[in-house]
């Protein structure tokens, strides 16, 4: 899309929006793809002391190329440290050191629960998905969770077919009732807009340029709440675009 003479892709907009949620000095559990771009953008721009932690064991990673997998060798070279996966999950994540966890979902519901396990019945699935990986524990233990997900009626059902990674489970008291240590999801960024959470439920707070509330309603499987202060998502600035294109010159993830 082009706005104010600036050309950018929808994914670049999503990456910028995700990066802006990260604060300097925080420890962030990074996933591959758009989350990785967002974290590296934040580190090169407004959060130079952001500590990038990958479940593969790299801590304080400073990748000089775009990692294709979560265990790319470039995450090791010049990182602050490399730890066992036991250390990463026990001491960093369960130890309460992770400020932000990034998750992606195939399905997400109104309470921010994520499904990456199966579509349909678990024993006889319509589609078998990869499973949890580290997502379940990140959702439970990170202080806050950011979600990047493509939005359609199928991927935004009222209830996910399988809760791989709990959000607010069934409402405002869901996490507290079960004693989950982390704070749960704070923002969901889709191809249409951004959602924040109120009373454990997703509320549309910004629409991407050119998107409409009607489009959002058509692509959501429940009666979606709309914020009374609905805004338009801030578009990427020149500096952000320059850094993203430097990080992902072939537009492998951002195109």
**Given the rule CB under 8 A, which residues bind another protein?**
32-33, 55-58, 68-73, 75-77, 82-86, 89-90, 93-94, 113, 117, 122, 128, 130-137, 139-141, 162-166, 169, 174-175, 178-181
Distance CA 86, CA 60 (A): 17
Radius of gyration of the chain (CA): 18
CB nearer to another protein: pick between 73 and 249: 73
Structure tokens at 96: 């309460």
Give the rounded distance of the alpha carbon of 23 from its chain centre: 15
26 is catalytic: no
Q: Which is nearer to another protein, 76 or 226 (CB)?
A: 76
User: Closest distance between another protein and the C-beta of residue 34, in Å?
Assistant: 13
**Closest distance to another protein from the beta carbon of 98 (Å):** 12
CB atoms inside a 10 Å sphere around CB 64: 8
> Could you tell me which of 207, 250, 240 has the C-alpha nearest to residue 16?
240
Query: Which member of 12, 55, 201, 240 is catalytic?
Result: 55
Least Å from the CB of residue 218 to another protein: 28
Residue 23's region, left for phi above 0, alpha for psi from -120 to 50, else beta, is beta
Closer to another protein by Cβ: residue 21 or 115: 115
Q: Which residues are catalytic?
A: 55
């Amino acid at each position: 899309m082009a706005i104010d003479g600036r050309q950018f892709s929808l994914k670049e907009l999503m990456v910028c929006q995700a990066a802006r949620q990260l604060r300097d000095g925080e420890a962030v559990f990074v996933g591959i793809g758009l989350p990785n771009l967002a974290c590296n953008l934040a580190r090169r721009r407004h959060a130079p002391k952001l500590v990038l932690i990958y479940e593969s064991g790299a801590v304080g990673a400073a990748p000089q190329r775009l990692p294709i997998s979560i265990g790319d060798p470039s995450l090791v070279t010049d990182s602050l440290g490399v730890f066992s996966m036991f250390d990463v999950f026990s001491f960093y994540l369960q130890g309460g050191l992770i400020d932000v966890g990034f998750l992606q979902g195939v399905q997400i519901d109104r309470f921010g629960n994520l499904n990456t396990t199966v579509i349909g019945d678990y024993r006889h699935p319509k589609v078998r998905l990869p499973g949890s990986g580290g997502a379940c524990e990140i959702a439970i233990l990170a202080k806050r969770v950011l979600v990047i997900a493509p939005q359609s009626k199928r991927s935004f059902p009222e209830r996910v077919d399988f809760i791989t990674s709990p959000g607010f489970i069934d409402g405002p008291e869901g996490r507290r009732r079960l004693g989950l240590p982390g704070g749960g999801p704070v923002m969901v960024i889709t191809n249409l807009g951004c959602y924040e959470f109120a009373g454990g439920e997703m509320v549309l707070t910004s629409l991407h340029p050119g998107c409409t509330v009607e489009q959002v309603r058509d692509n959501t499987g429940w009666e979606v709440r709309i914020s009374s202060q609905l805004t338009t998502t801030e578009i990427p600035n020149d500096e952000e675009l320059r850094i993203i294109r430097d990080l992902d010159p072939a537009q492998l993830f951002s195109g």
